[in-house]
Amino acid sequence: MKKGILFLALFLLLFKYSSYAQQVTDSTKIGLTFKTAPWYVRAMPISLYTGITGKYADRIPQYIEVGKSFRVIDLGLALGRSSLRPDSTLFTEVKVTMDVCNYGIFANEMTIGGGKLFDHNGSIMLELSYTIFAQLGPKWGLGLVSGYYDYTSETVDNSRVFYGLFFRYGIQRTDSGGLFGLGRGRGRSGRGHGHGR
């Protein structure tokens, strides 16, 4: 009986010690609130709709987005215009961008968004897009985006495929997707100025 109790006590002591030894701070597990989450800015000044003909001024959408980063997710509000025409239609959109994977300074992201196009039809605007992003400096980078805008109302329904170039300013990420500088991320966080975004 004493050997059984001694064995159990020794097992519990070793289990407790090994669980403490494996604890590593990871920013993906740090609780971020809206107040403590870092800000970012993203802008797409150059892009082009494909699959339609006409003047280039009718085929170039632009936007600027401001938001907060929550670990691997950016949550932002974008304000833009659907073309460069003088009577261009403005839009506002809520966007959720998720950092899907990282490799060195490169990241792949997926964005889902929804908003309002302020045209005479009162169109609802939906977005699905994918990016390849390069973190070129401690807080900035640029990337390529490819995606779809869907505009729908009671009288109009159309989709636009677009390709563009965007810039992002904000805190970068490690290879694990954790925010660089908010904790010790897993992966290769000791090299250079960080990885990913």
pLDDT at 8: 55
pLDDT at 4: 56
- Tell me if 83 is assigned to some domain: yes
- Tell me if 186 is assigned to some domain: no
CA 48 to CA 185: how far, in whole Å?
A: 37
Q: In which domain, by residue range, is 95 found?
A: 31-170
- Tell me if 26 is assigned to some domain: no
pLDDT at 24: 41
pLDDT at 185: 40
CA 117 to CA 108: how far, in whole Å?
A: 27
Residue 43 sits in a domain of what CATH number?
2.40.160.20
pLDDT at 175: 54
- Tell me if 99 is assigned to some domain: yes
- Tell me if 12 is assigned to some domain: no
Report the number of distinct structural domains present in the chain: 1
- Tell me if 181 is assigned to some domain: no
- Tell me if 17 is assigned to some domain: no
Each of the 197 residues of the chain gets a pLDDT tens digit; together they read 565 565 555 555 444 444 444 444 445 555 578 888 899 999 999 999 998 888 888 899 999 999 999 888 999 999 999 988 877 789 999 999 999 988 888 999 999 999 999 887 878 999 999 999 999 998 999 999 999 999 999 888 989 999 999 999 998 766 555 555 444 444 444 334 444 44
Q: End-to-end CA distance of the chain: give it in Å, rounded.
A: 58
**Contacts of range 137-145, beta carbons closer than 8 Å, 24 or more positions apart:** 137/193, 138/172, 138/193, 138/194, 139/169, 139/170, 139/171, 139/172, 140/167, 140/168, 140/169, 141/105, 141/167, 141/168, 141/172, 141/197, 142/166, 142/167, 142/168, 143/107, 143/109, 143/168, 145/44, 145/47
- Tell me if 75 is assigned to some domain: yes
pLDDT at 195: 43
pLDDT at 1: 58
